[in-house]
Amino acid sequence: MSTTQRTRLQSAFKAALAAELAQAPLDRDSALRAAATACRAVLSERWAKTQAQDAKRGAKAKTRRVHYLSMEFLMGRALHNALAALGLTDTLAEALAPLGLQLSDVLEREPDAALGNGGLGRLAACFLDSFAELGLPSFGYGLRYQFGMFAQGITEGRQVERPDDWLRLGTPWEQPRPECRYTVRFGGRVVVEGGQRRWVGGEEVVAQAYDFIVPAHHSERVSTLRQWQASSVKPIDFEAFCRGDFEGANRHRVAAEALNWVLYPDDSTDAGRELRLKQEAFLVSATLQDLIARHLREFGSLQGLGRANAIHLNDTHPALAPAELMRLLLDEHGLGWDEAWAITRQAVSYTNHTLMPEALETWPLRMFEALLPRHLELIYEINQRFLDGVKAQVPGDTALLRRVSLIDEGPEHGGGERRVRMAALAVVASHRVNGVAQLHSDLCVQTIFAGYARLFPQRFHNVTNGVTPRRWLMQANPGFSALLDETLGEGWRTDLGELAKLKKKAGQAKLQKAFLAVKQANKDKLAARIRQELGLVVNPTSLFDVQIKRIHEYKRQLLNILHVIARYQAIVANPQADWVPRTVVIAGKAASAYHMAKLIIQLAHDVARVVNSDPRVGDKLKLAFLPNYGVSLAETIIPAADLSEQISTAGTEASGTGNMKFALNGACTIGTWDGANIEMAQHMGVDEMFVFGLRTEQVESIKALGYDPRLYVEENRQLKAVIDALGDGSFANGDTQRYRAIVDKLLQVDNYLLMADFADYVATQAKVDEAFRDRAAWAERALKNVAGMGWFSSDRTIAEYVERVWSVDSLA
């Protein structure tokens, strides 16, 4: 940006800011709204220019427009990102100073957009950032959740869920698009009219678009997150209203609006499952109608739709897309089957994010028949044509036919409810399917998708995840970013691969000292946050040992807590020993219906209560569980971490992106040989990571031989003492039953092999202690970690998707 352009932009911004502030009493909230509105005016201009450029691409363009469908987009706060992208951070700080306001205080007033929950949504947000940065014609598509998944509170150590009412004061970042309105149908029936099958009747809702603009940081390009809001086609039932039946008059409106209330409604009931399926169908239908309408405006016909547009499914939630696209092309636009299927296969691609069969969505046929009868017909037809092809390719292999069918007939044909396999639909309809780390992609073709990989091996490939350095280093850790500028120059800001130059400098004493100073400032900030939120005073010079992610048994927060107990017991037994002080920080939400995950949260609080109040321990060990984990909290925690816990059972974590964010900010990793940990270790040097635990093949071997977790407990005195303390009420005010479910599961089942990995985990934690004692050596190790992280930029990830999946050349 030239000096003239920057001056003009700053002047326009100041004028818009002044106009907004003139309309409301001055405080941090009005300053936030004014700054956001002023930024949005600039971003809207860039959005219009970007759309105009993309519309002129023409039929011969090599890059297709990407439509990225995801049930989650965990965007975080927008103002800081917008100011950084526009180069207006100092301008706003200068404008606020005479008003007696600090920029940092204003930034803190913005709520996180509650549009996602965990790694899936944060990955999607990183991708939108890279779409803009790389100038990729694109739209992200999601739902405009009013209350998020939930806001997590803690009462007496237990998780309590409440609505995350982030829109209660409105949001200045949204741009309503009243011209983008589409009708979505549920229920009804299929009829034949003039030889054409039509879906009629049932319930109709309107999808209204709201746009959230994501700016590039080194150009004027932007990306768009288009969110759908549902409303009823019909106004109130006036007759019912006049009769005094106010609830009945409004019932259909409530049913429509419920589609946007909550991310991932509790699916432990039929009503919850039905709402979730409707949400997915709503997202897919509105998105594909929008795509087709845009394509027709630009090209005039549906010819070439698949070559001009990529439809990417972020996990299995939007897997209904192939069936809906076929419905629209066949029923609404009159194409023949072969032409419609060719377009669908060209357009659709799919990323899988899990190896767990239970996480691959399936839906009962009865539910499909009730809500989506036309889609069920189309899925039957897709399945029949696909299976006919399999029979021709592999004659006589009926077992393979059963494994790859889109319809799960139930155990032994009738032992269970018949269901539609959504991942199977996504795989069969896609021209490319990928996992998100090399191990994950390899295991996909060896396990859950083995039958499909046998039929079309060329369809499967790997694209390892990445994170955007703009939010997760430049914004989250400005002190370290400035140090990198001083050490490497600013080239790393546009090419993260430049971080590799840090490896040769990692042994420099001056750099190590500066790095440790930046880290300490970040730790001081987190310690202050812990004291403010929990009333807990922690030693800011202690080793900050951090695990922040969704609470799930396979992510093994419980293993972390078992180590805290073991460490606590050892300190109490020998308080005068030369202990390395450690502060363990855990954060994350448990799904509202996930009893075991919620029990683990309660255990963390009970252990913290005992450990933190024991005078024999002092500041040698503290445990802090920070509630309501989200992007903004992560931006405070990650730069402060010394040790990153990435301890999933080998073969269960698809990739992880938290592991990348921690390492990028100079935390060392203790982790299993799982997900992207493996590739991180290979890039930074395996010796720079604290690797422990069974490998994937060892996990499989132990389970095949008959795993008995009790043997590990009986053979390890330290582990037995930990399990006994859980069972005898030592951490439950004497209540011996509170954690009986955890003890029984660990001793009798232990699906995720905590007992088998415990000894190596504890021994590796001792190696962490010894390494941390030598501060210079620790700094050198941490800097080498950072040096190896250049490859893990989401810019590289998106460039690989473009090359292999989203370019026209990838269709050849």
Which residues participate in catalysis according to the annotation?
Answer: 353, 549-550, 555, 657, 661
DSSP SS3 for 341: helix
Residue 259, phi then psi, degrees to nearest 5: -60, -25
Q: At what angle are helices 509-534 and 478-488 packed, to 10 degrees? A: 170
**Euclidean distance between CA atoms 354 and 441, whole angstroms:** 10
Interstrand relation of 158-162 and 151-155 (parallel, antiparallel or unpaired): antiparallel
Q: Measuring CA to CA, how many Å separate 271 from each of 37, 214, 233, 363? A: 39, 35, 22, 13
Q: What angle (nearest 5°) sits at the alpha carbon of residue 213, between those of residues 299 and 661?
A: 120
Number of alpha helices (DSSP H) and beta strands (DSSP E) in the chain: 34, 22
E strands, 569-677, in order = 582-587, 621-625, 643-646, 668-671
Locate 260 and state its tokens: 């946007």
- Residue closest to 493 by CA, chosen among 526, 527, 524, 470: 470
Q: Which residues, including other chains, have CB under 8 Å from residue 370's CB and lie 6 or more apart?
A: 187
Q: Which residues, including other chains, have CB under 8 Å from residue 94's CB and lie 6 or more apart?
A: none
- Which H or E run contains 781? helix 775-787
Q: Which residues pair with 407 in a beta bridge?
A: 420
**Euclidean distance between CA atoms 604 and 778, whole angstroms:** 28
CB atoms within 10 A of CB 486: 11
Locate 361 and state its tokens: 């969505």
Q: Measuring CA to CA, how many Å separate 247 from each of 45, 94, 202, 260, 304? A: 43, 52, 20, 20, 48
- Residue closest to 432 by CA, chosen among 341, 322, 347: 347
Check: CB of residue 670 under 8 Å from CB of residue 643. Answer: yes
CB atoms within 10 A of CB 356: 12
Locate 479 and state its tokens: 């002190």
Q: Measuring CA to CA, how many Å separate 424 from each of 188, 404, 446, 452, 652? A: 26, 7, 15, 9, 20
**Euclidean distance between CA atoms 43 and 13, whole angstroms:** 11
DSSP SS3 for 708: coil
Q: What is the CA radius of gyration of the chain?
A: 27
Q: Which amino acid is at 502?
A: L
Locate 307 and state its tokens: 């070559």
**Euclidean distance between CA atoms 419 and 416, whole angstroms:** 9
Interstrand relation of 65-69 and 138-143 (parallel, antiparallel or unpaired): parallel
- Residue closest to 117 by CA, chosen among 80, 87, 143, 79: 143
Q: Measuring CA to CA, how many Å separate 151 from each of 78, 161, 635, 746? A: 19, 6, 18, 30
Q: Which residues, including other chains, have CB under 8 Å from residue 745's CB and lie 6 or more apart?
A: 596, 751
